[in-house]
Amino acid sequence: MAKNVTKMIKLQIPAGAATPAPPVGTVLGPAGINLQEFCTKYNDATKDKRGDILPVEITVYEDRTFDFVIKTPPAAFLIKKTAGIKKGASKGSKEQVGTLTRAQLREIAETKLPDLNAYTVEEAMKIVEGTALNMGVKIVD
């Protein structure tokens, strides 16, 4: 028999660094799941990506069990990491804070492709390029 889903929770947690303390504990505590068990499973699943921020979708069932799906890092995080900047421009596309090459853009798009609404790498590159331009990161050939 299928389990009944009671909640779907989306969080962004640093890879390999989940703890029962806030923000994880304050969001998952009311859902009634075992925080320590979640943190242990999440940290084991993400220990190879340490340092990245990873979105996770947690499905909580009626019997207080849970499943989770780890997504790819946000495009903005990957752009900042690749461009070597701390944050995007405060004035958006009117201000330039960094640059990316087409090769770096393709690499980010290939990483993000499973989570984007795109069928090809070229389509994914357009989506990531739009995010980069809005962050003030210029794309150079």
What ranges do the domains of the chain cover? 5-70, 75-140
- 32-52 pLDDT tens trace: 888 888 889 998 888 888 888
| Average predicted confidence (pLDDT) for the chain | 87
- Class for the domain spanning 75-140: mainly alpha
The per-residue pLDDT for 1 is 55
Quote the pTM value. 0.77
SS (H, E, C) the chain: CCCCEEEEEEEEEECCCCCCCCCHHHHHHHHCCCHHHHHHHHHHHHHHHCCCEEEEEEEEECCCCEEEEECCCCHHHHHHHHHCCCCCCCCHHHCCCEEEEHHHHHHHHHHHHHHCCCCCHHHHHHHHHHHHHHCCEEEEC
- 104-135 pLDDT tens trace: 999 999 988 888 888 899 999 999 999 899 88
CATH of domain 5-70: 3.30.1550.10
The per-residue pLDDT for 117 is 86
The per-residue pLDDT for 33 is 86
The per-residue pLDDT for 22 is 82
